[in-house]
Structure 1
């Protein structure tokens, strides 16, 4: 029996936006399983502000306008208290306009680092300056990689991230090729056959989900993986599995979170996750973990401020609030959570953590 009441006033409803289709769809099971763990942990305690929390998933893999229209309709009921999610920045921009600062919106995905987010949007994912750029500098320093090609999906996150990368490189000649393609394109042959790619030491992959896995397979099939590295800020164990072990040679990933089997907290979290979902559960990955952390961050922020009101939350963040979550203490710079950065290399279907980069 629940320790909470049974009326709508006794619950806090969280709308979780995650792609159920398209290239990002391969991460949805991990995100759903991880967020369920967070909900159970919180409800086994005191809930949020003494109220039970519930989550409803909606499909963030559709066109941004479609997602925003559904969010707007659900917000109009007055029964949604917060938004979370792992989805593209194009969807985030549409949803944030539909939300209009009515409820807190905890965006748990790596992003492009824009400074003009609407009120209520809290960026919990990685900023290029804290993740991608330090990873590139690490590879330059440690492996002597300095000539780059960029392949990205054609929307705001890859394009703005690519701009930040260009500006960070020591000389314009360090970027030898740059191309953007729609989400879900099946064939990367034009990019892989471009003569300019031969001049690159490495490829920066600004693709989403299954597109990364598909690119890795086609890249490896050309034989380039033996002489050119790849780096992505948007890949997890699901991407490694979808690509297959043979596609992951010389593939590096920058992320704020990798499961470290030698870390007691990570081992304990994985154990709780599998006790809840079983041994054949989707992998607990960086993307799923950000969804998990988003719900715990919402609890910490509301317990600290005593409120779900957006202006109250922003005032606390502006005052330097520190949030206690299972992943440690988190602070903010503006609306951006300050996160650690790590670089890892694919070892078959898992990651070997190499270094902390920020």
Structure 2
């Protein structure tokens, strides 16, 4: 796919009047493109609900799509162009941390930015609000569960080579030291990797009990298929903090034995708020809808968070929104959530793969 130069980007007319434009940055191609349709559908559902309830600040909310699957610098240039043209007043969406690392400095606090992906933690730039899970809620408690419940303390880390896997691995190493765990081996592959034979030979030679998978989308699919083909799923568990129903479907039921994850939302999460959201999603989009998952639902959260902040502040500007952010609490498909230090505090659940679906075991 040829990426257009910044001068070729199509910029909508300036926002204003009765419409508030919000950029939705989600991957539409590349290794993470598998998540794009779910993200778009959930964000659209949030927008429809908000508009049906009167919009935001008396204005109709409109989403402006931006392909977060492009190289980070290209995404940042497009978002910057939209802001400079006055075409958007806010940014949200699920995209990898490498994209956030490029986009956030270019936004530079000019408009509010709700980053919805689970991520490695540590983001505090002005005007950035974060709805995703962080390692203190998601990764650390999962490693603790593995050690206490199944005696797994020997891990090999396999990740894509960019900021989220490397920083998450750093957190995992630090946490494992506190519980008497060990990292047997650690390796990183370029985004878009589909051939894992050398990696799997090292996994097998490491003598680990489990693999911490820090792979994105299509890369995780390829790894799961190769892992099972080599027979490693008979003896070695896999845990990933970023794996969804789309990846299960693409991996195939024969390739998900011993695969686990943790997240703030699952399609089959048996809570009143989760079941209500799943039913609403199904009614709206029908049986052929993109898979409902935590990554897509996070985009619903991003749209909701920004509009809740705007309502509370009476403004779409960063400073008033930031001034009212601390302690903001409201109901979402994830239950009651609360904003602390511009991060959404939420429940996180552990799940194990059962063929092509997730069986939620417990809250972490």
Interval of TM-score (by shorter of Structure 1 and Structure 2) = over 0.9
Name the counterpart of 1:306: 314
Report the Cα offset of residue 239 of structure 1.
Answer: 0.5
- Do residues 335 (structure 1) and 342 (structure 2) align? yes
CA distance in 2, matches of 1:309, 1:331: 20
Correspondence list, 1:1-358, <5 A? 8-115=16-123, 117-170=124-177, 174-194=182-202, 197-260=205-268, 262-318=270-326, 320-357=327-364
CA gap 1:269/1:225 in 2 versus in 1, 3 angstroms:
same
Please name the residue that 1:3 is paired with. none
Determine helix, strand or coil for the equivalent of 1:280: coil
Deviation at 1:324, TM superposition (A): 4.0
Residues 176 and 197 in structure 1, CA contact (< 8 A), matched pair in contact too: no
Distance in 1, Cα, partners of 2:107 & 2:92 = 12
Whole-Å Cα distance in 1 between the matches of residues 163 and 152 of structure 2?
Answer: 26
Q: Say how many residue pairs are matched.
A: 349
Q: Distance in 2 between matches of 1:327 and 1:355?
A: 14
Unmatched tracts of structure 2, length 5 or more: 1-14
State whether residues 336 and 346 of structure 2, in contact with CA within 8 Å, keep that contact through their aligned partners in structure 1.
no
Supply the distance in 2 between the matched residues of 1:195 and 1:246 (Cα, whole angstroms).
20
Q: Secondary structure at the match of 1:170?
A: helix
In structure 2, relative to structure 1, the CA distance for the partners of 1:197 and 1:57 (3 Å cut) is farther
1:12 is paired with a residue whose SS is strand
SS where residue 177 of structure 2 aligns? coil
How far off its partner does 1:198 sit? 4.0
Q: CA RMSD in A?
A: 1.6
Shift of 1:173: 6.7
Q: What CA distance in whole angstroms lies between the structure 2 residues aligned with 1:124 and 1:347?
A: 27
Give the distance between the partners of 1:326 and 1:126, measured in 2 at CA.
15
Provide the C-alpha distance between the structure 2 equivalents of 1:299 and 1:195, rounded to a whole number of angstroms.
45
TM-score by length of 1: 0.94
Aligned to 1:57, the other structure's residue is in SS state strand
Please report how far the alpha carbon of residue 330 of structure 1 lies from its aligned counterpart in structure 2 after TM superposition. 2.1
* Residues in 1 aligned to 2:259 and 2:188: alpha-carbon distance in whole angstroms: 20
- Deviation of 1:332 after TM superposition, in Å, equals 2.5
The one-character-per-residue Cα deviations of 1:158-215 (angstroms, maximum 9, x if unpaired) are 1011001101113787100100111001111111011664410000001111111111
Distance 2:336 2:79 in 1: 30
1:126-168 deviation per Cα after TM superposition (whole angstroms, max 9, x unaligned):
1011101111111111111110000011111110110011011
Q: CA deviation at 1:323?
A: 3.6
Give the stretch that moved more between structures: 256-265 or 7-16.
Answer: 256-265
Q: 1:39 and 1:161 mapped to 2: Cα distance?
A: 32
Tell me by how many angstroms 1:218 deviates: 0.5
Q: Secondary structure at the match of 2:32?
A: helix
Q: Residue 177 of structure 1 contacts residue 197 of structure 1 at CA under 8 Å; is this kept in 2?
A: no
Structure 1 residues 195, 337: CA separation in 2 closer, same or farther (over 3 Å shift)?
Answer: closer
CA pair 26-195 structure 1, distance change in 2 beyond 3 A: closer
TM-score normalized with structure 2 length:
0.92
| Offset at residue 88 of structure 1 (A) | 0.7
Residue aligned with 2:62, SS: strand
Q: Say whether the 8 Å CA contact 2:352–2:359 is kept in structure 1.
A: yes
Deviation (angstroms), 1:104: 0.8
1:300/1:324 contact within 8 Å kept: no
